[in-house]
Homo-oligomer: A and B are copies of this chain.
Amino acid sequence: MPAARNAVVMMGGGPTPVINNSLRAIVEGCRELGNQFGTVYAAWQGVEGLLREELLDLSAQPEEEIALLRTTPAAGAIGTARYKLTREEDLARTIKVFRAHQVGYFFGIGGNDTQEVCLKVAQAAEGTGYELTVVGVPKTIDNDLGDEQFKLVDHTPGYGSVARYWAWTVQCLEEENRGSAPADPVLVVQAMGRRVGYIPAAARLADPEREIPLLIFLPEMNPTLEELAGLVADTVRREGRAIVVVSEGLKLAELGERRDAFGHAAFSSSRATMAQLLVNHLNDVGLPARGLARGQLPGTEQRDAILYASPVDLTEAHQVGRKAVLLAAEGKSGVMATILRAPGNIYRAEYGAVPLAEVAGRDRPFPAAWVDHERADVTDDFVRYSWPLLGEDLVSVPIVDGRLRFARLRPIFAKKVLPDYTPAAYRQGG
């Protein structure tokens, strides 16, 4: 029987409230299968730490802290990055780091960009004859990883929690807006999700019976500012008020987008936000009501507010992490663990594997059939799809002295044995 080889776990891209529950599953799963897996390291701060040989020893952490990862949101525990790992020398360095630390298993937790990183690393290992088992773990609140037919990926861990965030936030905003309508008839709220509509769509879960004067503008709708304002004015005329959920990714030139390292629009860094543009326009043209339009811009809380974590999402993030370990243990490489929906009318998740090549670097679109352009809404088919992901019950988070008690990992790193390395992208003028 061959000696156990070590494992590296890496996160990429933006986090979710439940991402660390996948991490926990990998650490605990590898520990259980200790004759196959040796030490589990985290690539500190994602690809960047991997290239710099910064490997946080997760096997040496107190068990309590690993357990607390369950309800510790976002990527602060091990860090993440938005670094594009495509250059030959970066990939060669990656394999060197793995070789130096007897790494036989690589788990990449992330969206389609991170799955592309996984694919590239698998190819680089194969190219140099280095034996490496690469398994991806899905993660994105955007739910844009997978295929449009939901056969490879039903939904991604993180989406259930952001769906709950929007369902419950809009419920609370409805209490606010209904109560304050004379002074504050229009509330504009901006949703994440880039150019894909899954996140703003979840606002409909607040009100499947359509009793709230709620307008949802998906990026797939692509209205002009005037069309948008016209629909809001119609609703205010009819109902006296409106709650307007707008996607950050509506295509309006006035936003003045800035771009991140992957070349994606960094919407929260734009010169103006979609919500602000709409609020200004509505107040400039004047509402068909007393009072003003007001805007608010939820930000990263959509992906880090642990209070909104869905228990379904939390469990599935764990189970899909566990599935990844089992796949690795079976020697399956070049695949991503995935969540599928079991057939039947009662929701049940199943876990499987898909080739990395089928999900890497591809955006899953929001189904055109779920968009209701005329009413600025989504269809009931979307509600049926997403509803089971909300779950029942609050997720209980440990509280100590009035503060949330999050995991605090200790800075125990693998001893560096290689020469220093600067990631290729940072070499010329940074």
Contacts and interface: CB of A to CB of B under 8 A. Distances in A.
A391 to B, nearest CB: 7
A254 B47 CA distance: 40
Categorize the interface residue count of chain A: 35 or more
A261 B176 contact: no
B268 A276 contact: no
Interface stretch (A91-99, A116-124, A323-331, A397-405): A397-405
Nearest to A405: B171
Contacts of A283: 258, 269
B77 A179 contact: yes
A191 to B, nearest CB: 12
Interface in A290-317: 290-301, 303-308
Given A273-B276, A276-B276, A279-B269, A402 B167 contact: yes
A131 to B, nearest CB: 30
Contacts of A306: 172
Contact of A180 (B14, B77, B187): B14
Interface stretch (A57-65, A68-76, A229-237, A373-381): A68-76
Nearest to A392: B399
Contacts of A189: 299
Interface in A26-58: 45-46, 48
A72 to B, nearest CB: 7
Contacts of A396: 394
A411 to B, nearest CB: 12
B301 A169 contact: yes
A161 interface: no
Interface stretch (A79-87, A100-108, A134-142): A79-87
Nearest to A267: B294
Contact of A292 (B177, B260, B292, B399): B260
A20 to B, nearest CB: 9
A183 interface: yes
Contact of A390 (B174, B176, B402): B402
A271 interface: yes
Interface in A164-199: 164, 167-169, 171-183, 187, 189
A159 interface: no
A406 interface: yes
Interface in A231-290: 258, 260-261, 266, 268-269, 271-273, 275-276, 279-280, 283, 290
Contacts of A227: none
B296 A298 contact: yes
Contacts of A168: 307, 403-404
The 10 closest A-B pairs by CB, nearest first: A296-B299, A75-B179, A76-B175, A390-B402, A297-B297, A74-B175, A76-B178, A82-B183, A268-B294, A269-B292
Interface of A: 11, 14-15, 45-46, 48, 72-83, 164, 167-169, 171-183, 187, 189, 205-206, 258, 260-261, 266, 268-269, 271-273, 275-276, 279-280, 283, 290-301, 303-308, 387, 390-394, 396-397, 399, 402-404, 406, 426, 430
